[in-house]
Amino acid sequence: MIADNTKYFKIKSGWLYGICLLIALLFISYGCTTVSKFGTDISKKTKKVLQNIKAPKRNLNKKIGFILFENKTLFKNNNLETVFTKRLGESVKQHCPSVTVVMPEDKDFPDILTGMPRHPSGRIDNMVLANMAKQLGLSAIVTGSLHDISEGAEEKGILWFKDTHNFISTKLIVEVFDSQSAAKLLDNVYVHESEVGETEYEMMKARKADGLPELDIALENIAITMGGEICNKIAKQPWRAYIVEVNEKTATISSGSQVGVKYGNLFDIFSSGTILKGAAGQRFHAPGHKIGELKITDVKPGKAQAFLTDGKMKQGDYIKFK
């Protein structure tokens, strides 16, 4: 926009069309809001209708758990991490209605998910995290951080059309860990930038998040995009459950009626696999091979009892439908 104190010049009529065209291009080039993910333009994805992931055959659903996002920003008094984690969980539920989502605000939220296991260096211990997921019958664990919320200003335009634009930038990181392999299914950085007025800009500088609709919109937009991508990743993973206890030929598995396991179901048993060592102390499970079969003999909401019908089994092995 041209400020009130902008000087007007007499322009020959022959140049009028060119100037009007230039102004139009400037407005097109400098939009108010941009949403981006490093390496990918996700603004288009937010507009696209994401596929509604349905439950797999035999009506077995997947279950994923959320660990509260870490707040690394300077906004420490607004519970932004709690607000965003809840929004992201709701977004996943909307994109994947057949997936059971375990959230920090749930009454029966597991205590072991209230803290993040870490190496002495501070890095997430992915193997311990995966073992936690197996005990709970989770296909994956979602976590991440509100990495940065900052303000900035820059001049846009050319010649006498230059103007100062204030904006806020919101940066978040999301990580999704696979319970079977302990590898990351998703590790993305999301950035949302939105232009703000002078009042909102000063509120940002004072670290006051209350009354900043632009920040609220940023968190909502990122949650929508993240939720769709998490849903797509989970949909591509095969359904598995894990043997968490063995007593001779009987076993307890980590999934029950809540995800569709029924009395009489037959499953193949696969070895937990070998452990591979990666960089910075990270460890991963290579897929195992079939070692036996079992039959479900009793079912509860979060677990089930089974009988070994062939082969062998041990704690930590995983099962798939025959």
Q: What is the pLDDT of residues 221-249, one digit of tens each?
A: 999 999 999 999 999 999 999 999 999 99
Reduce the DSSP state of residue 179 to 3 states and report it. coil
Is residue 46's pLDDT more than 80? no
Mean pLDDT computed over 265-271: 96
96 touches 235 (CB < 8 A): yes
**Beta carbons within 8 Å of 270's beta carbon, 6+ residues apart:** 287, 288, 289, 290, 291, 317, 318, 319, 320
Least confident segment among 130-134, 204-208, 265-269: 204-208
Q: Which domains does the chain possess?
A: 31-236 (3.40.50.10610), 241-321 (2.40.10.410)
Q: For residue 149, give Cα distances in angstroms to 34, 37, 209.
A: 15, 15, 10
Is the model's pLDDT at 61 over the cut of 70?
Answer: yes
- Looking at residue 296, its amino acid is I
Q: How confident is the model at residue 5 (pLDDT cuts 50, 70, 90)?
A: very low
Q: What is the pLDDT of residue 263?
A: 96
pTM of the model: 0.78
pLDDT classification of 4: cutoffs 50, 70, 90 = very low
pLDDT score at 50: 37
**What pLDDT shows up at residue 134?**
95
Q: Is the pLDDT of residue 98 over 70?
A: yes
Structure tokens at 287: 């897929």
pLDDT at 97 over 60: yes
